[in-house]
Structure 1
Amino acid sequence: MIAVEECVLILLAAGRSRRFGDADKLQEFFLGKPLAYHVVTALEDVPFKARFVVCSGTELDFASRGYAVLHNHNPDDGMSGSVKLGVAAAREIGCAAVVIALADMPRVTATHIHRLLEAATGPDAVVASSNGIHSSPPALFGVDQFEALMMLSGDEGGRAMVRAGRHVIAPEAELLDIDRPEDLERLRALR
């Protein structure tokens, strides 16, 4: 197990959202607040060593919610560019691991994050989420994986690492990723 106090949260919020259309999906309202603030609220009491959010064009004020904001000026580089920015910032302050979460996954819970931490066996750990069929974020990467994360390229992010890592099962609805308008409608129907 890796202690949460030695872990840095990296929230990715710099995607281009091409499949969603012209609107900033992170600002779309769900249950009275912007979509991205649901994961922020769910994890606000988790005592991470630090919290970073990687943004590109959103107007949401993550800084007021306790996040150090990292600006991804090249979001066309894909998810890997955002991951590298977050990992570089985490390395600067020193930590045992990072948890990488997506701002467009509004039903992630603190309980699930604690389960990822409990499943981490050491500095080389890779622990991802799964619905029992497919692996996905949130995912935890031990400090010995940082160099591999810094070598990523394109929009794959750490997908291959996540597939090969250990998986913690969560309900499919908890891991719902909002990529298209119909995903948001499906979310709203679940409530």
Structure 2
Amino acid sequence: MRLAIIVLAAGRSRRFGSRDKLRVPLEGRPVAQHVVRLLRGQPSAIRIVVLRDRRLAGMFRGFRVVRIDRAAQGLSLAAGLRAATRAGASHALVLLADMPRVTRADLRRILHGALTHPAMASAKTPMPPALIPRHLFPLALANRRDQGAGAILRQRPDLILHELAEAHLVDIDRPQDLVRLRPKAIAAGSAES
């Protein structure tokens, strides 16, 4: 398997307010740095990041940077898959830069047994991380309705869902999402259970 790991980091953070959520600190580092740190354990993979804001590129050292002008989800995915195709990838593992709790064990589960079937994480619904085999790249590249990988792969009867811990699949969209991830909030939540 020649794996391309595509990190989508081109969103506008509109629901987060005036700050860029990927730059906001979480446990001593910007949110986006958590996914970078996670991927240090994947040395043989082709690493690609799709950005809209050039200023984020410094956080993704060692990644092939693909810059797009618009933040549409489908455009980000397509740009990443085109870069993966050029690099000769047989599979693309799609991650979001605003999901700081995904673990290496989660990635191993998504990649386990990967051949021709697409795979996605699932807590209550299918979501990233998502694995797309190369023969399905054209399906995502032909997408004209700005759908992300999830909307496209959920239509596949051969989709494999890997149940992962819901706490690992937190997607930071609003400031309150970040607050729930801070250690004190987590500790308080455990004490209440």
Q: Normalised by the size of structure 2, how large is the TM-score?
A: 0.88
> Which whole-Å CA distance do the structure 2 matches of 1:91 and 1:58 have between them?
23
How many aligned positions are there? 181
Matched position secondary structure for 1:70: strand
Across the aligned residues of Structure 1 and Structure 2, the Cα RMSD in angstroms comes to 1.5
> Which whole-Å CA distance do the structure 1 matches of 2:81 and 2:59 have between them?
18
- Confirm or deny that 1:130 pairs with 2:118: no
Quick one: which amino acid aligns to residue 51 of structure 2? C
Which deviates more, 53-62 or 92-101? Answer: 53-62
Note the C-alpha offset of 1:59: 2.2
Percent same amino acid at aligned positions?
Answer: 38
> Which whole-Å CA distance do the structure 2 matches of 1:134 and 1:10 have between them?
21
Matched position secondary structure for 1:156: coil
Q: What are structure 2's unaligned runs of at least 5 residues? A: 188-193
Q: Look at both structures and tell me which one has the larger radius of gyration over its CA atoms.
A: 2
Q: What residue in structure 2 maps to residue 102 of structure 1? A: 96
Note the C-alpha offset of 1:155: 4.1
1:76-128 CA-to-partner distances (Å, cap 9, x unmatched) read: xx1000011110011011111000000000011111111111142x23x2100
**4+ residue runs over 6 A deviation:** none
The answer as to whether partners of 1:62 and 1:69 remain within 8 angstroms in 2 is no
> Which whole-Å CA distance do the structure 2 matches of 1:187 and 1:58 have between them?
27
Q: What residue in structure 1 maps to residue 141 of structure 2? A: 150
> Which whole-Å CA distance do the structure 2 matches of 1:159 and 1:8 have between them?
18
Note the C-alpha offset of 1:162: 3.2
1:135-184 CA-to-partner distances (Å, cap 9, x unmatched) read: 11010000110100101234421222332421111111100000001101
Matched position secondary structure for 1:139: strand
Q: 1:153 to 1:17 in 2, by over 3 A?
A: farther
Given the alignment, which residue of 72, 85, 101 partners 1:91?
Answer: 85
The answer as to whether partners of 2:130 and 2:150 remain within 8 angstroms in 1 is no
Note the C-alpha offset of 1:39: 1.2
> Which whole-Å CA distance do the structure 2 matches of 1:49 and 1:107 have between them?
20
> Which whole-Å CA distance do the structure 2 matches of 1:8 and 1:115 have between them?
16
Q: What are structure 1's unaligned runs of at least 5 residues? A: none
Note the C-alpha offset of 1:58: 5.7
Q: Normalised by the size of structure 1, how large is the TM-score?
A: 0.89
- Confirm or deny that 1:160 pairs with 2:151: yes
